[in-house]
Amino acid sequence: MNVIRLWLNFVRVGVLGEIQYRVNFLVQLLQSAIALATALIVLALIFSYTQTLGGWTGPELLALMGVHTLVGGLIHMSIQPNMERLMQDVQNGTLDYALIKPADSQALVSVREFRLWQGVDVIVGALVIGYAVYQLREIFGWQQALAFAAALGCGAAMIYAFWLILTTGAFWFVRMENLLELWQGLYSAGRAPVGIYPDWLKYGLTFLVPVAFAVTVPAEAVTGRLTLETLAGAIALAAALLVGARWFWFFGLRRYSGASA
């Protein structure tokens, strides 16, 4: 519970800081609108040639796009800013200020930043999913809603764990920001259902980088094609990654303390 209180406090500070720049909200809104329009144009172009793409219909791909936008918003709002700050702290040696605070170090470095206006993408994504669900109402029931929530939670947890592991790498290799460039590119691959990729890429996007679990699996839940086995697998993998990330964080921290002593 302490972690949540801590998080809420940082959120409050972040919101207070950003509310002063309401113009940024407008800018972000416009940017999200442009991104949405572009994505819709691409979908329209694809479905002007075909009825289904890799077995997904128009509304189903729309749901996928919504999930991609929503998860992207979550990443930009909370995960990425925190991890970037952590990376800078390691580079500049200012991480000590965080470590000296009497709180769980992993929790602290994961909640310090909050970008309110990036949340626009979360809302835009949710609206798109809502519209897709409306079109798919025949197949969407409360089971799907539950499965979607669970899959989304697992996906977010996996991405957080993945980023924390990558960022902890900064204790060894100081220049990690390029790995993040790599991530941006790979995440954009989530705009298509991973099933249409050649096998090597499909498995890479599933197990090397959890894009499939973060985007395709929740979208599968919305479109009623998620099996219980996949969901169980997602939950197990998310739990394993979270535990692994926590272990790796403390492992890296020991090295960091050793090096600066």
Binding site for another protein (CB under 8 A): 16, 19-20, 22-24, 26-28, 30-31, 34-35, 37-38, 41-42, 45-46, 48-50, 53-54, 175, 178-179, 181-186, 188-189, 191-192, 196-198, 200-201
Least separation in angstroms between residue 183's CB and another protein is 7
CA dihedral of residues 29, 48, 187, 216 (deg, nearest 10): 110
Residue number with CB closer to another protein (53 or 237): 53
Q: How many Cβ atoms sit within 10 Å of the Cβ of residue 21?
A: 12
| Min CB(153)–another protein separation in Å | 25
Taking the complex as a whole, the smallest distance from the CB of residue 97 to another protein amounts, in Å, to 21
Closest C-alpha to 129, from 191, 192, 64: 64
103 φ, ψ to 5°?
-140, 165
Classify the C-alpha dihedral 240-165-157-5 as positive or negative: positive
Smallest distance, Å, CB 251 to another protein? 23
- Residue of 173, 180, 191 whose CA lies nearest to 82: 180
63 φ, ψ to 5°? -60, -40
Cα end-to-end span (Å), the chain: 33
Least Cβ distance, residue 112 to another protein (angstroms): 21
The full DSSP string for 57-104 is -HHHHHHHHHHHHHHHHHIIIIIHHHHHHHHHHHHHT-HHHHHTSSS-
The amino acid occupying position 254 is R
Shortest gap between Cβ of 15 and another protein (angstroms)? 10
**Token pair for 237:** 């993998």
Strands (E), the chain: none
Residue 56 DSSP SS3: strand
Shortest distance, position 181 Cβ to another protein, whole Å: 4
- Please say which residue, 28 or 168, places its beta carbon nearer to another protein: 28
- Select 180 or 253, whichever has its Cβ closest to another protein: 180
CB closer to another protein, 31 vs 106: 31
Nearer to another protein, 186 or 235 (CB): 186
| Nearer to another protein (CB atom), residue 102 or residue 185 | 185
Report the residue count for the chain. Answer: 261
Cβ-based nearer residue to another protein, 8 or 16: 16
